[in-house]
Structure 1
Amino acid sequence: MNVDRKEVKSIELSKVSPMPPMLLAMLKKDEILDLLAYVLSGGNKEHAMFAK
């Protein structure tokens, strides 16, 4: 989803992470690596982050 900059009324930093608490504690190593690859690639499955 893209939002035109002119439509944004304000931008504020959140004091709370959008990631659920203890998420990493529930994931296996491979799942954490997949999550990092997804975030770092911007969700692009063709990105080099997913090549390994």
Structure 2
Amino acid sequence: MCRLTGIIQGMKLMPEDLPDDPALLKQMLLEAQDAKEAYATHIIDLKEQIKL
């Protein structure tokens, strides 16, 4: 297991057992990308609030 995989698993962003179904994997990837974008947007919003 690479270090990044361990970090991601430690953050509970990636399940230990990934499904074999490509469609389900794609859905999980899209959901993870959406969550990442929402988190990044939230961080930007917080940084802007700090500037005020």
TM class by shorter-chain length?
Answer: 0.3 to 0.5
Structure of higher RCO (CA pairs closer than 8 Å, 6+ residues apart):
1
TM-score, normalised on structure 1? 0.37
